[in-house]
Copies of this chain bind each other. A is one copy, B any other.
Amino acid sequence: MGAVRGTEVEQFCDYLNRRGLKLTSQRMRIAETVFSAHRHFTSEELYTLVRRREPLVGRVTVYRTLEHLVRSGMVEELSIVKGVSTYEHTAGHVHHDHLVCDSCGRVEEFHSDPLEHAKRRAAEERGWRPDRHLLKIQGLCPDCLARAGSAGPKA
């Protein structure tokens, strides 16, 4: 089945074991691909990436494995593009949020401690136990802002 590289894939194996799910070569290959991705991806993109290495993996298996990965808490679903599910792995790095440019579509990731703190407090003050969250801030990126500034205010 090839070397299981990195702790993240192993963690996912643990998750599968704990749930009594099977360690198949497809699941391993998909997990490897997910954890070696450095950016967010859609199901279809992941499917393409996985197939480069293992053309025998079916699209359906990618969808199903993605569900397990999300349930395991190691991958989360974003809502960056309308109508398509976008994912990214969270294992091994702190939570981050997204800035999306209305003009050029650029996506920038960021992390802010005060913001994390405010989110947690807001939920807890209302009696909730926050688990994960999704923050997308839309607006203009520095470049488009500069361009808009030099060309006069937009609209």
Contact of A135 among B112, B135, B139 (CB under 8 A): B135
Contact B99 A123 (CB under 8 A): yes
> What's the interface size class on A, roughly?
35 or more
Q: Sorted from nearest, which 6 A-B pairs have the closest CB atoms?
A: A79-B79, A127-B142, A131-B139, A133-B137, A112-B122, A130-B139
Does chain B have a CB within 8 A of A119?
Answer: yes
Per-residue interface assignment for chain A, residues 28 to 60, with 1 indicating a CB less than 8 Å from any chain B CB and 0 otherwise: 000000000000000000000000000000000
Does chain B have a CB within 8 A of A82?
Answer: yes
Contact B108 A115 (CB under 8 A): no
Contact A140 to B131, CB < 8 A, known contacts A82-B77, A115-B118, A118-B115: yes
- Chain B residues in 8 Å Cβ range of A115: 115, 118-119, 121-122
Pick 29 A–B contacts, CB within 8 A, sort by A: A77-B82, A79-B134, A82-B85, A83-B85, A99-B123, A99-B130, A102-B131, A108-B128, A112-B122, A114-B118, A115-B115, A115-B121, A115-B122, A117-B118, A118-B118, A119-B137, A122-B137, A128-B145, A129-B139, A129-B140, A129-B145, A130-B139, A131-B138, A133-B135, A133-B136, A133-B138, A134-B134, A134-B135, A134-B136
